[in-house]
């Protein structure tokens, strides 16, 4: 149980595929122009990661070393195609917006990376958790970057939410800055690069801060004992 949590946290934070491993940058930079686009691609990627990790783990003893990678690619490509068809059928408008980036999930290095580095060496439960953690970590990165760019670029949040959540979410769009002229740079690719850079810096600062207090409390407790 504890190790599952460790695996999950590793994917979500410590070894975050976007902020730490810097994998999957192409979809990350291209689709993070709004929260909803980011969330949709993130969830599709997460589903792919869980399914591909589970499948790879399941067959890890049956597939020889020589053909390991082609088999992984086959598995991932089949899963992504199935997901693409499903989105085309049930989330059509979202599918139109995300377009080429759904089939391109196949080329997200994070997926084959996890298959090779984790799922091919671990049992199915741990591999699925790893897929979930890594996927949600990637989704989180997409959503945060998406929120930054959407607020700066067009002054809204959650625009087009109904494409994921149905008509109930039609009014979910929050106008953060009214009568906003828009800041073009944030929506264009350079905005994505700058935003990602800032977020990575922020994560590093947070990691340092998180590491410090632990150290200090230990000192304090020692002090109180002395006193």
The contact set with other proteins (CB under 8 A) reads 62-64, 66-67, 70-71, 74-75, 77-79, 81-82, 85-86, 88-90, 92, 96, 182, 184, 187-188
Residue 28 to residues 40, 57, 78, 98: CA-CA distances in angstroms?
12, 26, 22, 12
**Residue 48: CB minimum distance to other proteins, A:** 13
Distinct helix (H) and strand (E) counts, the chain:
10, 2
Query: Which of these, 157, 148, 143, lies nearest to 18 by C-alpha position?
Result: 143
Residue 84 backbone phi and psi in degrees, to 5: -60, -45
Is the CB of 86 or the CB of 217 nearer to other proteins?
A: 86
Is the CB of 21 or the CB of 105 nearer to other proteins?
A: 105
Is the CB of 190 or the CB of 213 nearer to other proteins?
A: 190
**Residue 223: CB minimum distance to other proteins, A:** 57
Is the CB of 26 or the CB of 202 nearer to other proteins?
A: 26
Q: Are 38 and 142 within 8 A, CB to CB? A: yes
Q: Are 20 and 207 within 8 A, CB to CB? A: no
**Residue 198: CB minimum distance to other proteins, A:** 21
**Residue 145: CB minimum distance to other proteins, A:** 16
Is the CB of 86 or the CB of 219 nearer to other proteins?
A: 86
Is the CB of 22 or the CB of 194 nearer to other proteins?
A: 194
**Residue 193: CB minimum distance to other proteins, A:** 16
Count of residues in the chain? 227
**Residue 1: CB minimum distance to other proteins, A:** 32
CA angle (37, 131, 70) in 5-degree steps = 100
Query: Quick one: how far is CA 193 from the chain centroid?
Result: 16
**Residue 189: CB minimum distance to other proteins, A:** 11
Is the CB of 74 or the CB of 202 nearer to other proteins?
A: 74
Q: Which residues of 160-188 are buried (b: 16+ CB within 10 A; e: fewer)?
A: bbbbbeeeeeeebbeeeeeeeeebeebbe
Query: Could you give the CA distance from residue 25 to residue 129 in angstroms, rounded to a whole number?
Result: 22
Q: Are 80 and 47 within 8 A, CB to CB? A: no
């Amino acid at each position: 149980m504890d190790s599952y949590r460790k695996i999950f946290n590793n994917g979500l934070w410590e070894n975050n595929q976007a902020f730490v491993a810097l994998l999957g940058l192409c979809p990350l930079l291209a689709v993070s122009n709004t929260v909803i686009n980011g969330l949709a691609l993130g969830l599709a990627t997460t589903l792919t990661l869980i399914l591909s990790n589970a499948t790879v783990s399941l067959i890890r003893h049956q597939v020889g070393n020589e053909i390991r990678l082609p088999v992984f690619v086959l598995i991932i490509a089949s899963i992504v195609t199935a997901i693409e068809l499903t989105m085309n059928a049930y989330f059509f408008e979202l599918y139109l917006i995300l377009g080429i980036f759904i089939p391109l999930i196949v080329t997200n290095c994070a997926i084959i990376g996890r298959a090779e580095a984790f799922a091919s060496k671990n049992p199915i439960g741990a591999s699925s958790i790893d897929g979930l953690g890594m996927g949600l970590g990637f989704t989180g990165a997409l959503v945060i970057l998406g929120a930054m760019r959407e607020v700066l670029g067009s002054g809204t949040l959650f625009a087009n939410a109904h494409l994921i959540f149905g008509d109930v979410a039609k009014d979910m769009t929050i106008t953060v800055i009214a009568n906003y002229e828009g800041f073009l740079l944030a929506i264009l690719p350079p905005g994505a690069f700058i935003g990602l850079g800032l977020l990575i810096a922020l994560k590093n600062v947070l990691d340092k801060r998180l590491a410090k207090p632990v150290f200090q409390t230990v000192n304090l407790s020692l002090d109180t004992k002395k006193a």
